[in-house]
Amino acid sequence: MSRSHHRRVTGALVAVAASTLLLAACGSSGSSDSGESAAAAPEGSAAAEEATAGGEACTVKVGIATGQTGGLAYVDVPNLEGFQIWLDETNANGGIDGKFPVETIVKDTRSDAAQSATVGAELLGEGISFLITPGDADPSIAAGQLAQEAQVPAMSWFGSSPVLPVAVGDFMFSNAFGDNAQARVLADYATEQGYTSAYTLGSPDSAYTSNLPRYFKAAFESNGGKVVGEGTYSMGQPNFNVIADEIKALNPQPDVIMTPAYEPDFPTFLKAIRGAGITAAVLGTDGIDSPTTLALGETAEGVVYTTAGILKNEGAMGEFFAKYNTKYGKDPETIYAITGYELGKILEAAVTQAQSCDPVALKDAITNLEGVEGITGSIGFKGGDRMAIREITLVQVAGGERSLVAVVAPDPATVPAA
């Protein structure tokens, strides 16, 4: 996700996590603890026998540090569900490339950065080849710094802050496009709509909510627009009435309001401005691609936001819908179920290219990936900054449903610097 907090992990936290890593390495049994889950190729399969025999084949051991509870659950849970579908079908076919079975160890980070470091250390102590981190930069940095030290590649479910790989190092990747890229797409859309003045609302509490308004302002003003007001809020604040009053007092009123606020703040903010009679267009980011936004009814009508793709039960995505329905008895409710499956396809491409379970070999393979065929389109990393090179979808809320506006591949030369 896009949730991309970036409060730097303290030295004390890293020291505690490092101690946990040492203890985990000494006491590892290769099995998951209570409250966690593990999955591997069926015992007795040809791939498992080859791996046991010590030939070319090997088991790809994946540690998953994920917010199954807490504030990131609405991002991390569907991502894990999608990844599990990929895992099941891959192991049913003998593993990646027919000979590399995949085993997972899943641990709940409780959507907390400190717990993510602890969980990351425990997973690294299990001898994993690949670490998946939450869809947010804060906990991903906490776990990723330990993976960097252990020389194990880590990838965030969908943490979109471009500071994430910079803060960690060359073993850290994200399955998301960068916030600076989605800000460019939003700014260009605003310009195309004829909007010349904008108001931005951000929060200093995270890199995601702090930097996205800055990226948008740089892109929008490079197009000739003007940001006429910049508001701030505290994440989780109970109401936005004061901010609504500030916007209403602007003269003239802005054509468009851009904010990276997400649950629970976005719904509260949107209700406040609409309740105050403010009718300006509203632009959001991938953090609001959830059933909560659609459930706002008339209040959210016309909101446009950036995301990884649009849920639609047809074509390749329709095939995923069928698989998801078979496994979970319902349709996917968010694009994050799709991106979780796509992260599996990225891992599959890396292992196939490396023909190895060695972490360093996998890191090198991911770095050079291009043209990985995902459900939402092609995904790559080669020539990038370890953020996924992928298309960005613009979606409009219409009648309580997602309506496709455009699919965009922004020109890297026009994207604001991270």
* Residue 111 CB-density burial (10 A; 0-12 exposed, 13-18 middle, 19+ buried): buried
Per-residue pLDDT tens over the stretch 113-163: 999 999 999 999 999 999 999 999 989 999 999 999 999 999 999 999 999
Superfamily of domain 11-176+313-387: Response regulator (3.40.50.2300)
Per-residue pLDDT tens over the stretch 224-281: 999 999 999 999 999 999 999 999 999 999 999 999 999 899 999 999 999 999 999 9
DSSP bridge partners of 174:
156, 387
Q: Do domains 11-176+313-387 and 179-307+393-414 have the same CATH topology?
A: yes
The helix or strand, by DSSP H or E, that contains position 130, with its residue range, turns out to be strand 130-133
Residues 288, 292, 295, 296, CA torsion sign: negative
Per-domain residue ranges of the chain:
11-176+313-387, 179-307+393-414
Residues 115, 119, 121, 122, CA torsion sign: positive
Structure confidence at residue 207 (pLDDT): 84
DSSP code for 175: S
CATH architecture for segment(s) 179-307+393-414: 3-Layer(aba) Sandwich (3.40)
**Contact, 182 vs 160, CB < 8 A?**
yes
Helix, strand and coil content of the chain, in percent to the nearest 5, comes to: 45, 20, 40
Q: How many angstroms separate the Cα of 251 from the Cα of each of 225, 228, 246?
A: 16, 10, 10
Structure confidence at residue 78 (pLDDT): 97
Mean pLDDT of the chain: 89
| pLDDT of 75 above 80 | yes
* Residue 98 CB-density burial (10 A; 0-12 exposed, 13-18 middle, 19+ buried): middle
Per-residue pLDDT tens over the stretch 375-401: 999 999 998 899 999 999 999 999 999
Q: How many angstroms separate the Cα of 149 from the Cα of each of 23, 143, 146?
A: 16, 10, 5
